[in-house]
Structure 1
């Protein structure tokens, strides 16, 4: 099993459900297609990440994931600098937005891609009204700089969120219930077959 992501949050979530895996990051151009839906974008990028890593594997199941924040149809990725992070928080504060995470599984057998599947999940998030001092303080912690939408719902960023509708872990970057469903589609029970086969 290989996680094609350097995200510590995704690593933590997979560890929490007992998966045995290694991390191998993929270097792809995370280009957002303005003409595609958020669901299609995150599934495509998740598959590209997983495939890039799968191409260097002999026998493995590779997990790729991608997350975006969407506000009134506009996709927000990771902020490029602190100024953009504050601007993103300003646009999100006091409003509801959506978080889309795509997950891709790529199975490799004898160095060849055997099968793939991609799915996406959406969670709605209501952000609290925030004054500029609080936004600048949060950005100053460095926490939002590697996160879509410039915030993390876990840890210190949790104080910015009022409520959610949907999967909490999806907002963190990996819906564990969705990945469990995807493994079941392939007849794999998390915690049993994966561990015994050591893939």
Structure 2
């Protein structure tokens, strides 16, 4: 039997690179889920959900959107930053990113990443499992000039929470409590657990 193939239902370059760095040559097939419409539907059906449940619901929708006769292990992920009781994804524009950072500076937030794994292999278990990893992130007290310069790079507009820990934004993260990889966008320890739950060992997918 050929080794299982991991299919990432996400267009995130950071997630794909992270998997490559640990020897997992994942294929990529981004989902076409309308996240805004899904969040509206979830709010109408269930009311206010906890951030960990929101990202898990989005991750599940992304995986299910892609998992159709792929003969793969399909992984959906979604990340949001919880700050002062509110959740944030990617900023809509530079003005929102600046305002976000003005609120974030000198504070701490929680980066939640939902993971949903579907065993869509022809001879697989057919299992589907999911969980959320949450990591506390402490931010530096940036000046207005630093915030404007950072946002001008365009990086904060491309990522959930308007920051990275593995890019330019790393200089503005003073500490992390929890899984570092989760802040990049994918918790490797959690992925290992989910693979095990569907009967796949970590080194079955690592080259």
TM-score (normalised: structure 1):
0.91
8 Å CA contact 1:19, 1:190 repeated in 2: no
- For the pair 1:97 / 2:109, whether they are aligned, the reply is yes
CA RMSD between the two structures: 1.9
Residue 196 of structure 2: SS of its match in structure 1? helix
| Superposed displacement of residue 19, structure 1 | 1.6
Which residue is equivalent to 1:50?
Answer: 63
Unpaired segments ≥5 residues, structure 1: none
The alpha-carbon distance between structure 1 residues 156 and 109, as it changes in their structure 2 partners (threshold 3 A), is: closer
The one of 151, 160, 167 aligned to 1:139: 151
Which residue is equivalent to 1:15?
Answer: 20
How far, CA to CA, are the matches of 1:113 and 1:147 in structure 2? 33
| Superposed displacement of residue 187, structure 1 | 2.5
Q: Mapping of 1:52-71 within 5 angstroms? A: 52-55=65-68, 57-71=69-83
Aligned length: 194
Which residue is equivalent to 1:174?
Answer: 186
How far, CA to CA, are the matches of 1:17 and 1:104 in structure 2? 19
How far, CA to CA, are the matches of 1:155 and 1:179 in structure 2? 22
| Superposed displacement of residue 186, structure 1 | 2.1
The alpha-carbon distance between structure 1 residues 7 and 58, as it changes in their structure 2 partners (threshold 3 A), is: closer
Which residue is equivalent to 2:3?
Answer: none
| Mean Cα deviation higher: 168-177 or 18-27 | 18-27
8 Å CA contact 2:127, 2:198 repeated in 1: no
Which residue is equivalent to 2:201?
Answer: 189
Q: Deviations over 1:46-87 (max 9, x none)?
A: 0100110102x3421101000000012100110010000001
